[in-house]
Structures are given as structure tokens and as C-alpha cells.
Amino acid sequence: MLAALLLGLAASLHCVGMCGPLILALPLDAAGKRMVLREMLVYHAGRILTYAVLGVFFGLLGKGIALAGFQKILSIGAGIFMLGMAFMAWRFEQLVTALPGFGKFTGWVKWRIGHLLKQHHNGATFGVGLLNGLLPCGMVYAALAGAISTAGVLEGGAFMVFFGLGTLPLLLGVSVLSRSFGATIRQKIRVAQPILLTIAGLLLLQRGLHLDLSLFESAVPEAGYECH
């Protein structure tokens, strides 16, 4: 699940700029940082639960494709997908929202989030997390490609859970500190994100191609002395 964690870390770098305002707008209790941390954990629990459900669904989809004999192609395709995001900066959110009916669905999700932001209880915070996991996000789509490549129901769900866990450190730091990052840090973020995506993509490619380093080791003769 290393690829999932790396994707989560890359996604958190993306979310700092994209979702930071939403996080800071949550109905958090201003009593202290400990209370803020507790409520943010409730929010992220909802978000990761949505990811897990999506992962189960896409893992099931991948299992069906794998039963048809295309598991290796799935993993290779997921790796290429992530490499494409890293190097070409495709706007997957725009492509997905252009699908028939998806724009209306996204509008409903945003409306529900806006309604919940006006409330001040843990149920609202949890609900915002659940709904936030449904908003268009290229990084989530990359993770779902990884979930499909697992070709398993539990494996797909676990992949998305690890993806969500990878986003926690930075996003929790932003929410607890109640601050956004300056231009210099955002520039470093833009550099780090494609690197992490590239590593995650290469890991999936390696799994798909079944690269075995022992093949290279066996091709190199062992150093030593021969006795005659």
C-alpha cells in the first residue's frame, strides 16, 4: 500500500490549495486546538469512509476485469494514468464534470455542503467529510485507478483507506494551525506533487510488469575464486 500512501501525500499537497478554504470554513469549535483536532478527525473520518466505499466498488470492478484475464493490464494502465497526471497535468475534474448528469450531481453535493457548514455539531462535520469525498478531484481519480488495479473488493477499499490516511498529516496541520501557505511553500508543493505521483505510478508499473530484481542478480556472476 506504499503507492496509496504516496498518492495520499501528493493529494494532500494538492488539497492544501484546493480544499484549504473549505477546511478552514468548517463549523469548528473555537475552544482550543484539542477540540479543533477532534472535530477535524471526525471530518476526515467521513471523507475516508467515502473513499473506502468507492474503493470497494472500484475494486469489485477491477476484480471483474481481472477475471477476464486483464489484471496485469489494469496495473500497467493505472501506473501510466498516474505518470500522465504527473507530467501532463491533465484536468480530469473538467472531463468528469462534463459527463451527462455529473454537473447536476456535483451541484447538489456543493449545496448540501453549504447547508451543513451553517450547522455546528459533529454530525454536520462528519457529513461534510462524507460529501467532500464525492467532489471532483483528479487525485482521487488517480487513487481509484490504483483501487481498480488491486482487482479485489477488500483490497480496493484498503487502498483508498491508505490513500486517505496519507492525506491526514498535512491537512490536519493546516486545520489545527488555522493557516494557509505562502507563495514560496506553494511553489515547493507544485514541485513535490509530480515527484510523488511519479513514484506511485512506477510502483504500479512494477507490479504490473512483475519486475523481479533476482533476474538481474542471476545474470551477474558472483565474484570469487575458483579452485583447481
Across 66-173, the runs of DSSP E, i.e. the strands, are none
Residue identified by cell 512483475 is 210
What pLDDT is recorded for position 159?
Answer: 95
Amino acid symbol at 105: F
Residues 154-208 pLDDT 10s = 999 999 999 999 988 888 877 766 555 555 565 666 677 778 888 888 888 887 7
Going by the DSSP 8-state scheme, the letter that residue 121 receives in this structure is S
* Residue, of 138 and 147, whose pLDDT is higher: 147
> What does the domain layout of the chain look like in residue ranges?
2-219
Question: Would you state the torsion angle of the CA atoms of residues 103, 108, 111, 115, taken in this order, to the nearest 10 degrees?
Answer: -160
What pLDDT is recorded for position 226?
Answer: 46
Q: pTM value?
A: 0.78
H/E stretch holding 7 reads: helix 2-18
And the C-alpha cell for 217? Answer: 542478480
